[in-house]
C-alpha cells in the first residue's frame, strides 16, 4: 500500500507504548506509579460536571456555530480581560475540539510547502507533526538552561531564515515546565514582527504557574495566534475542548477551515465549559494549582536527596525535565527498565527532543505527594543498581 509521504514524517509517541506496558503490569497485579501521562488525578470540577449534565437534560445536543457557542466565546474573551488585562473581541475566539483542533487550524492557515517554522527543542512532538502535515519544514532550535529552556528573542534572531514564516513557542512549556516573563515575551513578539512573520504561542498550561504570575501574549501582541485548552488548568481532559485566539483578519479563513475540518466542537462540552469561569469553579481550580505546587516541591525535595535536582526548577505546568546522563545515554531503555524493575512509569526524553533526548526523562507530578515520595524511593533503589 502507498500512503501520503507526509505520514512518514510523523514519529510514534513512545510514551503511549510505555503507558500500555504500565497498564498491563497494573492489570497483572503490580503497584504501578504513573508519572508518564500529562493528566493530573483530579476529577473535573463539580460545577463543570453539573453544567454538562444540565446541558444534556435540556437537550443542548445540536450543532453550534463552527467557531463555537457565542456565550462561551464571550466568556473566554472576558477571561482574558479579567486575568490578563487583554481586550479581546469574542469574534477572535474560535472554540475547537481540544487544543489539537486549534493547532490543526493554525498550522493549515500559517504553514505550507516551502515554509519553515522555528520551534524549541525539546518541545511537544505534536506541534512539529502538525506543521509537517501542513507540508512545512520545522527548524528545531536547541534550548537549554541558558535560555531558560525557551525559544527566546536572541535565538529567534539567530535562526530566522529567508523562508521562515512562523515561530511557535510554549509557555509554560511541555516537557520542561518553564515560562517566559512579560519582558521576554515582548522581545519575542517584537523579533517576529520585525521579520514580518507570525507568532503562535501554546498557552495550554496557562494558569498552572508557581514562580511567575500567569501571563498571555494576548496582552502583548494582538497579532499573535494563541492556542489554549480546557484540559490542563480547567481539568477537562476527556471533554476535548480548546480554543484558538486569532488576529481579526484571520477569523474568516479559520472559520471556513473549521466548517470543513470538524464542523463544530462538542455542544455539551461547550455548555459545561461555561461553568469553568464561575467563582465557585475558580476556587476549586486554584486549590488544585496549589496542590500541584506542593507536589512539585515534594518531588524536587526528594530528587535533591538523590543529587538530581535541576538547577532551573520548572515554573509551571506539571512536568520536570530531568537530566539522567550520569546514569544512562538511552532514555527509552532507562524508562523501560525503571518500569519493569520498580513499577514507576516516566516518559523518555526522545519523545520530545530531536537532539539530546536520550539524556533526559520527563516526570509528571500528577499524583499525590505520598506516591511521589514512594516513586523517589523506588528510583533511588533503581539508580543504586546502575
Of 139, 270, 110, the C-alpha closest to 199 is 110
Contact in structure between 271 and 190 (CB atoms under 8 Å): no
Cell of 284: 476549586
Q: Report whether 175 contacts 319 (CB < 8 A).
A: yes
Can you state the angle between helices 369-384 and 331-342, rounded to 10 degrees? Answer: 110
Phi and psi at 127, nearest 5°, equal -60, -45
Is 166 in contact with 110 (CB distance < 8 Å)?
Answer: yes
Torsion from C-alpha of 314, 317, 318, 321, nearest 10 degrees: -40
Where does the chain have alpha helices with state H? 14-27, 46-57, 70-84, 98-110, 125-133, 153-159, 182-194, 251-261, 267-273, 279-305, 331-342, 369-384
Tens of pLDDT along the chain (386 residues)?
A: 788 888 888 777 778 888 899 999 999 999 999 999 889 999 999 999 999 999 999 999 999 999 999 999 999 999 999 999 999 999 999 999 999 999 999 999 999 999 999 999 999 999 999 999 999 999 999 999 999 999 999 999 999 999 999 999 999 999 999 999 999 999 999 999 999 999 999 999 999 999 888 899 999 999 999 999 999 999 999 999 999 999 999 999 999 999 999 999 999 999 999 999 999 999 999 999 999 999 999 999 999 999 998 889 999 999 999 999 999 999 999 999 999 999 999 999 999 999 999 999 999 999 999 999 999 999 999 999 99
Residue 255 pLDDT: 98
Identify the CA nearest to 354 among candidates 107, 143, 58.
Answer: 143
User: How many whole angstroms separate alpha carbon 31 and alpha carbon 325?
Assistant: 27
pLDDT at position 342, please?
98
Could you give the CA distance from residue 202 to residue 125 in angstroms, rounded to a whole number?
13
Cell numbers describing residue 240: 476535548
- How many whole angstroms separate alpha carbon 316 and alpha carbon 326? 26
Whole-angstrom Cα distance, residue 207 to residue 288?
11
Angle at 371 between CA 365 and CA 375, to 5 degrees: 80
| Sheet of 360-364, strands arranged across | 319-323, 360-364, 347-348
pLDDT value of position 9: 80
Question: Between the CA atoms of 314, 175, 141 and 242, what dihedral angle is there, to the nearest 10 degrees?
Answer: -110
Give the per-residue pLDDT at 10.
79
CA separation (Å) from 3 to 6, 9, 32, 261, 308? 8, 12, 38, 20, 44
Q: Residue 276 is placed in which grid cell?
A: 469553568
* Cis peptide upstream of residue 26 (ω within 30 degrees of 0): no
> Is the CA virtual torsion 139, 145, 151, 153 positive or negative?
negative
Q: How far apart are CA 7 and CA 378, in angstroms?
A: 39
Task: Measure the CA–CA gap between 129 and 268, rounded to whole angstroms.
Answer: 29
Measuring CA to CA, which residue among 347, 65, 119, 77 is closest to residue 228?
A: 77
Domain boundaries along the sequence of the chain: 5-43+282-384, 46-280
The H or E element that residue 53 is part of is helix 46-57
- The pTM of this model reads 0.95
Q: Classify domain 5-43+282-384 at the CATH topology level.
A: 3.90.1150
In angstroms, the CA 216 to CA 102 distance is 16
- φ/ψ of 2, rounded to 5, equals -110, 130
Question: What is the per-residue pLDDT for 60?
Answer: 98
- Note the CATH architecture for domain 46-280: 3-Layer(aba) Sandwich (3.40)
Amino acid at each position: 500500500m502507498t500512503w501520503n509521504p507526509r505520514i512518514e514524517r510523523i514519529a510514534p509517541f513512545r510514551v503511549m507504548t510505555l503507558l500500555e506496558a504500565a497498564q498491563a503490569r497494573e492489570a497483572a497485579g503490580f503497584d504501578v506509579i504513573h508519572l508518564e501521562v500529562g493528566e493530573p488525578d483530579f476529577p473535573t470540577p463539580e460545577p463543570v460536571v453539573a453544567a454538562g449534565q444540565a446541558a444534556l437534560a435540556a437537550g443542548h445536543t445540536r450543532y453550534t456555530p463552527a467557531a463555537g457557542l457565542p456565550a462561551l466565546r464571550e466568556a473566554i474573551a472576558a477571561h482574558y480581560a479579567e486575568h490578563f488585562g487583554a481586550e479581546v473581541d469574542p469574534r477572535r475566539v474560535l472554540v475547537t475540539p481540544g487544543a489539537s483542533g486549534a493547532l490543526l487550524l493554525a498550522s493549515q492557515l500559517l504553514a505550507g510547502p516551502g515554509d519553515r517554522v522555528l520551534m524549541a527543542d525539546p518541545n511537544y512532538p505534536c506541534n512539529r507533526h502538525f506543521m509537517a502535515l501542513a507540508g512545512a519544514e520545522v527548524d528545531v532550535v536547541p534550548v537549554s538552561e541558558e535560555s531558560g529552556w525557551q525559544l527566546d528573542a536572541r535565538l529567534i534572531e539567530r535562526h530566522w531564515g529567508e523562508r521562515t514564516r512562523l515561530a511557535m513557542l510554549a509557555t509554560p512549556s511541555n516537557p520542561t515546565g518553564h515560562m517566559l516573563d512579560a519582558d521576554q515575551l515582548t522581545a519575542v513578539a517584537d523579533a517576529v514582527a520585525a521579520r514580518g512573520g507570525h507568532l503562535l504561542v501554546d498557552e495550554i498550561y496557562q494558569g498552572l504557574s508557581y514562580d511567575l504570575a500567569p501571563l498571555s501574549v494576548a496582552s502583548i501582541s494582538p497579532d499573535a495566534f494563541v492556542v489554549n485548552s480546557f484540559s490542563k488548568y480547567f481539568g477537562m481532559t476527556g471533554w476535548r475542548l480548546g480554543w484558538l485566539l486569532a488576529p481579526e483578519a484571520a477569523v474568516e479563513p479559520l472559520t471556513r477551515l473549521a466548517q470543513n475540518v470538524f464542523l463544530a466542537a462538542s455542544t455539551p462540552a461547550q455548555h459545561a465549559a461555561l461553568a469553568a469561569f464561575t467563582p465557585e469553579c475558580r476556587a476549586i481550580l486554584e486549590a488544585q494549582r496549589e496542590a500541584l505546587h506542593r507536589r512539585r516541591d515534594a518531588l524536587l525535595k526528594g530528587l535533591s536527596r538523590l543529587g538530581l535536582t535541576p538547577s532551573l526548577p520548572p515554573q509551571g505546568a506539571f512536568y520536570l525535565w530531568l537530566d539522567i546522563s550520569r546514569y544512562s545515554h538511552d532514555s527509552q531503555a532507562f524508562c523501560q527498565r525503571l518500569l519493569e524493575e520498580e513499577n514507576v512509569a516516566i516518559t523518555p526524553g526522545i519523545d520530545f527532543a530531536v537532539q539530546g533526548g536520550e539524556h533526559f526523562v520527563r516526570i509528571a507530578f500528577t499524583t499525590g505527594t505520598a506516591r511521589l515520595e514512594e516513586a523517589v524511593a523506588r528510583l533511588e533503589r533503581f539508580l543504586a543498581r546502575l
